Amino acid sequence: MSRYDLIGQLPHHQYVHVDTEFTHKTPEVSSIPGIWFGLVSYPGRAWGCNVLLESGAVYRNLPLHALAHTPNGLRLRWGVRQAQHWDCYGSGFTTLAYDTLRGLECVAKTAAGWRWGQYVCTLAPVGDAYSAVPSQAKELVLVALLNGRYTIQPTDRVVFKDPSFTEWRGWPRGLKRQEDTYSAEVEQPIRTQGMSRADSRRAFKDAIKGEAPV
């Protein structure tokens, strides 16, 4: 696992097809091969993808919906809202391919509905105000979909299938959103729902003084 600021790399590169409408002034072909290796995280914007093109050029900050992992994937109409659910929280992030999830089949809730695919890796915002609040903190799952496209969805919009362990019974129900933080030095959970990062720190300090909200 590595921590990055603004730019970083995928745990392992992806061979992709790039929509030339995003890269060329006057495209001669509809797509070209590429190697997707890098990410750009800019607050309030969609994730950017840094790609090595067949010409040797590196094209920076392509939106995810400009890429497909199969040639036919680019024929499918796929926009930024299908490619990801949230914009970047901040410039800090980390990438990790969990060994437990590597290669697992999964289903993701996209703006186009449920789509099956395969786990690629996990992206997580780091050091921003939202991530300090449990109900807002996110890990994002990059999925290579069976339709040839990619999507980045938070963990509450992805369900995994492990034939040796999980049982598919439809979308999980009854799970609650995490709202508390815990400390070995404080006797009770600190409730931080809806708090800013500064307020969440203040709540922690108050809890040490014995004034934790309940």
Q: What is the pLDDT of residues 104-120, one digit of tens each?
A: 999 999 999 999 999 99
Beta bridge mates, 110: 113
What phi, psi does 56 have (nearest 5°)?
100, -10
Would you say residue 174 lies in a domain? no
Residue 129: exposure state from Cβ atoms within 10 A (0-12, 13-18, ≥19): middle
Would you say residue 166 lies in a domain? no
The closest of 136, 126, 118 to 181, measured between CA atoms, is: 136
At 56 the three-state DSSP class reads coil
pLDDT for 177: 86
Are 40 and 119 contained in the same domain? yes
Would you say residue 171 lies in a domain? no
Would you say residue 169 lies in a domain? no
pTM of the model: 0.85
User: Considering its fold, how many domains does the chain have in total?
Assistant: 2
Domain around 198: 179-214
Would you say residue 14 lies in a domain? yes
Distance CA 127, CA 125 (A): 7
Distance CA 122, CA 134 (A): 18
pLDDT for 134: 81
Are 23 and 51 contained in the same domain? yes
pLDDT for 213: 45
Would you say residue 209 lies in a domain? yes
Is-contact 47 122, C-beta < 8 A?
Answer: no
Are 47 and 131 contained in the same domain? yes
Would you say residue 170 lies in a domain? no
Would you say residue 201 lies in a domain? yes
pLDDT for 102: 96
pLDDT tens column, 119-156: 999 999 998 888 878 878 899 999 999 999 999 999 99
For CA atoms 183, 189, 194, 198, the dihedral sign is negative
Segments of the chain scoring below 50 in pLDDT: 212-214
